[in-house]
Amino acid sequence: NTDLNSLESGKHLIDGDNLFVNIVDSKMKTPEEARLEVHDRYIDIQVPLSKAESFGVKPRSACTEPDGEFNAEKDILFYKDKDWETVTVEAGKAVTFDTDTAHAPLIGEGTVHKAIFKVKAV
């Protein structure tokens, strides 16, 4: 029942480390600037709030070009792969990325105000 637009920027705990939401304002990127990312511990539910946002999407098992090592503390690994499918999510709608799906967020122009829910997967 919470109006996500009314939340201040930052991390909001819902169920401790099991479920929380980050409210952010992020500069969007061109597809060439965007990077695929994957997570081991958390499923992402991303909700653009101020405008539509596009995402690159590719099965994690099909990613072949890691960009560094997995950062366990931040639960993230980036990939250089660019051969992804693109999905666009309208403002107020949600998209879910499980741990088996690489995603390149923030594709578009300008800045997007968004909510990123983190749901513990393991």
DSSP 15: B
Task: Evaluate the CA torsion angle 57, 60, 65, 67 in order and state its sign.
Answer: positive
- pLDDT tens figures, 69-107: 999 999 999 999 999 999 999 999 999 999 999 999 999
The pTM of the full predicted model, rounded to 2 decimals, is: 0.94
| Alpha carbons 102 and 10: distance in angstroms, whole number | 24
Residue pair 59/100 in contact (Cβ under 8 Å)? The answer is yes
Looking at residue 75, the DSSP 8-state letter turns out to be T
Reported as a single tens digit per residue, the pLDDT across 25-46 is 999 999 999 999 999 999 999 9
Paired strand residues for 120: 42
Query: In which region does residue 60 sit, left (phi positive, over 0), alpha (psi from -120 to 50) or beta (all else)?
Result: alpha
